[in-house]
Structure formats: C-alpha cells, structure tokens
Structure 1
Amino acid sequence: MSKKSGPLSGLRVLDMTRVVAGPYAGQILGDLGAEVVKVERKGEGDDCRRVGPPWLKQDDGTDRVGDSTYFQAVNRNKRSIAVDFSQPEGAALLRQLASKADILLENYRTGTLDKYGLGYEQLRSVNPGLIYCSVTGFGQTGPYAHRSGYDYLVQAMAGLMSVTGHHDGVAGDGPMRVGVPIADITAGLFATIGVLSAVNHRHSTGQGQQVDVSLFEAQLSAMLNTFSGWFNGNVALGRTGNDHPSAAPYGVFEVDDGHILIATFNDREFGRLAEVLGHAEWADDERYATMGARVAHREDLRQLVTRALKGKGKDEWVKIMNDGTVSCGPINEMADLAQDPQVLARQLIVSQQHPVVGEVKSAASPMRFSETPASYRLPPPQIGEHTSEVLREWLAQDDTQIEQLRHQGAI
C-alpha cells in the first residue's frame, strides 16, 4: 500500500452510484487519491453485489452467494455507508454529507433524486462549489431521458452490435455484443474526465456545476471509424468478425498449436511481415503493396500468410515477429495473464484483504505518475461497513446522534 498522496488527494467524493459505470468512475477517483464514500441502499446495497455467479470464494472453497466477483472490479478505495434516503432523516443526512463534499456521483433515473431534495439545483443551494455528476442511460434531456439504460441495450442502440460479430453468411452471423460492458466502461471514463474538468473550472472560479454523462452518448462517441465512415463517407462498415474493415492482414491466424494475432496497420510493417515469413516479394506485388490493395485481396493474402505460418507454434512465431518489429501476440485466456511477463513486471494485479473472505484481486490502475502514484488503500467494502466512521469524520456526529439515526431507520 502506497503511503504517498495521489494527485486527487484532498478531494471528497460522495458516490451514490450502483452497478458499473458510476462505480467505475468512483474507483478511478479513489485510486488517484480522492476520499470516496459509497452510499448504498440499506439492507440491499449496490445491485452489482448480487450480479453473479461467479461469487467470491470463502476459505472453505464454497461460494459466498450475494458477494459477486463483479462488485470487486469497480469498488476498491471506497468506504461504504448504508442510508435509506426515502426516509426524511436519511435524505437530510445525505444533504449534510453533500454540503461537505467536493464531488457527488449519481446514476439514478433522471429526476429521481429531485423527489428527495437531492437533485443538483437543490444541493447547489447548500454547496455552490459542488460538482454533481449524473450518469444515466440517455442523458438529462431528450425523448429518452427518463428511460432506463443498461450496457447491453446501449451497445445495441448506439450501433456497436451492428459492427460486432461474424460476416453475413458465416455460421453464427448476426449482431453480437462485446464481451465486456464497454458502454459502462466508456461512460465511467467520460464521467471521470468530466468531473476533473469541472474541478479545474472550480479552481478558477470557485463554482461547481452539473456534469451530464450518458451511456448512449459515451458509446456513440467511441464508435470512431464506424461513425465517421457513415457520416463522412456514406459507408456502413458492417460486421467484419476478426477482420479489420480497413486493414489487412490484421486479425487471427492459425499456427501449429493454436492461434496468434497479427496486426499490420501500414505498408512498412507489412513489408517487415513479408520478410519474416520468407516472402519479401509480397511487398512489391501490386496486389499487396498498399493497404487498399491488401484489403481488396484480403482472402488471397490470408491464405498465403496461413500457409507461411505452418511449421511453427505460437511462442516461436510471437518471438520471431516481435524480433522483426511486426505487431503480434498470443490470444490469452484470463489464466494466461497471471503468468504474463508484462503483467508481472508492471504489477498489474492488485491484491487486497477482504474483511470476510481474505484476498481479493483487481486490475491495477493503468495510469502511472512519476510523482503522485495511484494507491490501493481500501478493499471493496461491505454494505454500511463505515457508516459510523464516516458520520463522525465528515459531520462530527457522536454516538448518541448516530444511534438516533439508526432508531429512525435512516441508517
């Protein structure tokens, strides 16, 4: 555990988010040194706690049902308080906490928190410097504003599934989702960027503001070449399986003991590939000399490369190609990453002690700072594990006040 202060040390975050996108933003802020307090529903907690299997394993090897491995991925570096803000006393308590916060994250349906006096306009009256980040399915305005939005739904609606999956006519063709919650992840990243932009604005003006981030817009923004291909070239890229729509050879190739990924994204690298495969003449062949020509003759080139790869396995080809400055790598399973030299050298697996089941692991922050490194101070919390502690620190409440809140059902 690093003792150094992260770049966001001194910022207080009230994290009222659940599931993935919002909690991911909260975890990033926590990794960078912010003090993050996670507000959970009393008794139930974050919905993501129950999104399983798989579940955390207990010491005896059995599943701890109700403690999902999913939750562990996006909730480190947070303390948890359990509050029922449907109770007037609970809502009042959160208004007090918001008055002490720099940042509030929430991902309720548009307008939900206004009913409890916890909307942006209501909280800015008690804390004008508050940065209030709302993460929703479709944003605060527009005809879809009051719809719920989940990752899978947004992958469909933002066009991602139209370019994911096998080519038409190939067995198993049709729209396909990406295997990780990419719309949630992208929205979490944009929420973090938006919050930090607002922090910088507040440094200059002293004013807080609302940051409005939606999964739909985050995913649409991330469509990049697919979006631009249609809106600027009137070309629908469609589903291309493991092929790249604009580059070749760029994809999965069979070798003697499995498959490797070869990625050549310019003519120079293709020339190096041709050389290490023993066919330097390909680089001068008009059918393959340019990227456009290679895409046009993709299938012929695929067969040539596949034949040239025969006789060697994954490890040998990965070494040969990287020694020849050709982008190439194995197609790893999760189990492979545990022994991957780069993963080990960069310490990309973080181990922490869970209060009940022992060691839990998560992926390290990808951001490296020379002076203010990310740190891993707290494992993902239990529901309400830190309620009393936070109320004492943030609001200077004593045991009598805390017990009264319990008696009222607020905590």
Structure 2
Amino acid sequence: MSTDKSALAGIRVIDMSRVFAAPVGAQILGDLGADVIKVERPGVGDDGRGYGFSWVPGKDGLETRHSSFFTVSNRNKRSITLNHSKPEGQEIIRKLVATADVLIENYKVGDLKRFGLDYESLKAINPRLIYCSVTGFGQSGPMAALPGYDGLFQATGGMMAVTGIPEGQPGAGPLKTGPSLVDFVTGHNTALAILGALMYRNRTGEGQYIDIALLDSSVAMVSHIMQDYLISGNAPPRLGNGGNGGGPADLIYCSDGIIYLTAGTDEHWRRLTVLMEQPELNGDPRFDTNLKRGKTNRAELMEIINAWSRPFTVSEVQTKLDGAGIPAARYNELPDVWEEPQVQHRKLRATTPHAYAESGSVDLIQSPLAQMSESPATIRMAPPMLGEHTREILGELGYDAAAVEALQEAKVI
C-alpha cells in the first residue's frame, strides 16, 4: 500500500492550457498530488507569463517570466516546451498521453483536431483518458468560435448587472470585480469536473470528454441573486456594498477605519439596536422587516448606524460587535490581510523555495484545501521556469541525450 498521503498520487495530468482559468484547474490537481506536466510553446511559453504588473525577480538578473498571473496558477507543475505543429512534437504529446490520466486544453474550438490531438484521436491511444476542454462559450452554439476573457463574461453572464453603485447615487453603474473571478471559479469547476470523471472511471474503467465554458460559470456565479430573478421575474438592483441577503449589511465607518457589518437576521438586528442603545428601532415600522432594512430603507438605516459608529475606533466597534455576537469584520487593505492573526494562524502565506528567484524563495497563496486531515493539498514546487523539465520528461519517455539534441536542433522543443 502506498504511503503517499496525496489524494491524487499516481495521477498524471497533461496541461496544455494557457493564461488563467484552465491553469488554475490544473494547479488544483497538482496541489492534490497529481504529476502535472505543463506543455508550453518553445521560446514563448504560456501567454500568462506576460500578464499582470509584477514579476518574480530572478537570481543574478535572470528573467524568470514569472508574472503574478503565472505565479498564482502554475505551482506544482513541470514545464516541457513542445511545438505541437510539428509531427515530432505531436508524437511526444501522444507518448505523454499514453502515460496520462487527464489532458486539459483551452485552444480555440477544433484547433487541436488539425494536429490529431483532439479527444477522439487521443482516446484511440488511451481509452481511459479524461480530456477537458476549457473555452469561453463552449464547444457548440452560435458563439463557440469566439474568444473570451474574464471581463467579457462578467458583463455577459450577469455579474456586472448586480455589482456596482446603486442607481441615483454618484458614480452609479455596473462594475467589474477586481480579481478575475469568472476565470478563478471556472478553474475550480474544471478541477471539480475532472475529479468527478476520475471517480466515474474508477467505477466503470471509462474515460470521458469534458466541455467547460466560462459562460456557464459566469451565469452560475450570480447564484442566489439570479435565482431571485428566476423566482420573481424582477431583476434585483445593484446594492453597492450592501448585502443582498438581508440587512443591515454594509460598510460602517469608524474614527480610524472601516468595518463590514452583517446583521441580516432579526435577532442580529435586535442585538444591534440594544448595542447602539436605541432599542426602539427594533419595532420602528421603517425597519421592522428584512426587506425594509436591507433594501427599501437601507440608506436611512445606514446613516443611523454610521452616526453611532463614527466616534469609536475600529477596535472599539469590533470589540462591541463581537461581544454582542453580531457578525462583523475589519476592512483590510492588501498589506493588512497578512497581519491578521487568523490569516497567520492558517499559514495562508506560503513561502516556497524557488531556485531561480533572487531571494531563493517566492511567497505563494496557500491552497484552501490544505486543511484536509488525511490528504491535504500541498505546495511542493514553485511555478516552473519555461522548459525547466523538458529533458527530464523526455528522458522518462525514453529519449536519450542525442535524440533530445536533435529535437532541439529541429526546434521541436
């Protein structure tokens, strides 16, 4: 019996994806212990290496090409460079597929079929293969051929319709979220679908094809707000920082900072009125239902709460709210996040050795799956340099040094 505690030990994933959504999915599998082989274009690599505004500084002036986008979505992977437009490159991919359990790709619909690297072609080599295609709009339909990026789907799928400053207020209008949330959630859906397919294969011995679309994820992400529309036929308004499940829920301002308050249940609201020493508000007809507190009379109520909170410091208000059992949290700028005692306790800043980084390490964001008791997600390797493991992987496939040199001369690798 294996002593490896990784959930996906022994699973091999061929990651032919680029940029963000699909690489996140492959990374999750790597965090869970899979051997993820990232296939990149020679000399260029994953487009995501050039995305973002910061890069990991390299040792002795080395250009790592580890952008923030690439670094956050490509740990626990080995990188091989391959030109799949050349027959020799296609042959290497087929040899890899023969050893693999999963292949992930996010090329345009039908693009890999031109090279005999589509699901039907590779299924003939490995019938147990799970082949996952991640695209903007899916594999069929009137928009299937169109390219797609996160912001497009925040606009198309409804996210922006319910995110932003309410009508009638200064700056009113839809807003995109800061992080690329559609990409991020699509990556998680990719990993989830593959895990389901692996479970199905364990029972039946059969591989399968998976069609993942950013569009589908973007609509599903609107979640209970979209469900509210499907039930009522009425589109909920944008609420700015207001909660969309009850009220009061919004930012409240203190003398030295900001807190986010969520007192969305009747009991939390009652406790808040007592804490503010205004218990009469609990029976006030302006605020006697969740709908009135969270929507109809929300602005008026938040003025009352802010008048109470402004004289106190954040620490004072947080202590009061915690003592009363009312959910609330300090608003943090990004540097403040890492000073939070609970963030430090959970070890969410994962300093990882990086042989090519100037400092010898890189700070990564710990996987949310790291607290599994028996098979936790782990960070074993920093994101790879372009082609860092090419010779190693080709050696595993039986290529000797002379064959590797010939492939390099032919610009296959």
Q: CA deviation at 1:246?
A: 4.4
Written as runs of structure 1 = structure 2, the 5 A alignment for 1:201-220 is 201-220=200-219
CA distance in 2 between counterparts of 1:65 and 1:91 reads: 27
C-alpha spacing 1:222/1:309, structure 2 compared with 1 (3 Å): same
**1:95 equivalent in alignment to 2:94:** yes
Query: Which residue does 2:156 correspond to in 1?
Result: 157
Query: Which residue does 1:381 correspond to in 2?
Result: 384
Question: Is contact 1:137-1:216 (8 Å) kept?
Answer: yes
CA distance in 2 between counterparts of 1:266 and 1:63 reads: 55
Query: Which residue does 1:397 correspond to in 2?
Result: 399
Deviation digits for residues 205-247 of structure 1 (CA, Å, limit 9, x no counterpart):
1110011110010111111123212222111113221123442
SS in 1 for 2:174: coil
CA distance in 2 between counterparts of 1:356 and 1:59 reads: 6
**1:22 equivalent in alignment to 2:25:** no
Deviation digits for residues 36-92 of structure 1 (CA, Å, limit 9, x no counterpart):
1111111001111111322223568x8958431221111100010000101111011
SS in 1 for 2:343: helix
Question: Is contact 2:5-2:374 (8 Å) kept?
Answer: no
RMSD value, Cα = 1.7
Question: Is contact 1:87-1:409 (8 Å) kept?
Answer: no
Query: Which residue does 1:48 correspond to in 2?
Result: 48
Query: Which residue does 2:366 correspond to in 1?
Result: 364
Q: CA deviation at 1:173?
A: 2.0
Question: Is contact 2:7-2:32 (8 Å) kept?
Answer: yes
Query: Which residue does 1:148 correspond to in 2?
Result: 147
Query: Which residue does 1:303 correspond to in 2?
Result: 303
Q: Which amino acid aligns with 2:376?
A: P
CA distance in 1 between counterparts of 2:290 and 2:121 reads: 56
Deviation digits for residues 82-126 of structure 1 (CA, Å, limit 9, x no counterpart):
001011110111111111100111111111111111101111010
**1:343 equivalent in alignment to 2:343:** yes
Structure 2 unaligned runs (5+)?
Answer: none
Query: Which residue does 1:282 correspond to in 2?
Result: 281
Question: Is contact 2:105-2:133 (8 Å) kept?
Answer: yes
Q: Which amino acid aligns with 2:31?
A: D
Written as runs of structure 1 = structure 2, the 5 A alignment for 1:215-234 is 215-234=214-233
CA distance in 1 between counterparts of 2:4 and 2:171 reads: 51
Question: Is contact 1:89-1:408 (8 Å) kept?
Answer: no
SS in 2 for 1:211: strand
SS in 2 for 1:260: strand
Question: Is contact 2:41-2:83 (8 Å) kept?
Answer: yes
Written as runs of structure 1 = structure 2, the 5 A alignment for 1:113-192 is 113-192=112-191
TM-score by length of 2: 0.94
Q: CA deviation at 1:171?
A: 2.2
Query: Which residue does 1:39 correspond to in 2?
Result: 39
Counting matched residue pairs gives 407
CA distance in 2 between counterparts of 1:170 and 1:270 reads: 25
Query: Which residue does 1:244 correspond to in 2?
Result: 243
Question: Is contact 1:4-1:373 (8 Å) kept?
Answer: no
SS in 1 for 2:122: helix
Question: Is contact 2:257-2:331 (8 Å) kept?
Answer: no
C-alpha spacing 1:53/1:78, structure 2 compared with 1 (3 Å): same
Question: Is contact 2:64-2:385 (8 Å) kept?
Answer: no
CA distance in 1 between counterparts of 2:63 and 2:274 reads: 54
Query: Which residue does 2:271 correspond to in 1?
Result: 272
SS in 1 for 2:165: coil
Question: Is contact 1:28-1:192 (8 Å) kept?
Answer: yes
C-alpha spacing 1:55/1:72, structure 2 compared with 1 (3 Å): same
Query: Which residue does 1:312 correspond to in 2?
Result: 312
Q: CA deviation at 1:130?
A: 0.3
Q: CA deviation at 1:293?
A: 2.9
SS in 2 for 1:212: strand
Q: Which amino acid aligns with 1:115?
A: R
Q: CA deviation at 1:172?
A: 2.0
C-alpha spacing 1:262/1:195, structure 2 compared with 1 (3 Å): same
Q: Which moved more, 1:400-409 or 1:380-389?
A: 400-409
Q: CA deviation at 1:35?
A: 0.8
Q: Which amino acid aligns with 1:23?
A: P
Query: Which residue does 2:321 correspond to in 1?
Result: 321
Deviation digits for residues 288-332 of structure 1 (CA, Å, limit 9, x no counterpart):
232123232212211111111132111221122122211111111
CA distance in 2 between counterparts of 1:223 and 1:12 reads: 33
CA distance in 2 between counterparts of 1:254 and 1:282 reads: 20
Question: Is contact 1:129-1:202 (8 Å) kept?
Answer: yes
TM-score by length of 1: 0.95
CA distance in 2 between counterparts of 1:277 and 1:35 reads: 56
CA distance in 1 between counterparts of 2:389 and 2:63 reads: 21
C-alpha spacing 1:63/1:158, structure 2 compared with 1 (3 Å): farther
Question: Is contact 1:55-1:63 (8 Å) kept?
Answer: no
Percent identity for Structure 1 against Structure 2? 38
Q: Which amino acid aligns with 1:73?
A: V
Question: Is contact 1:51-1:70 (8 Å) kept?
Answer: yes
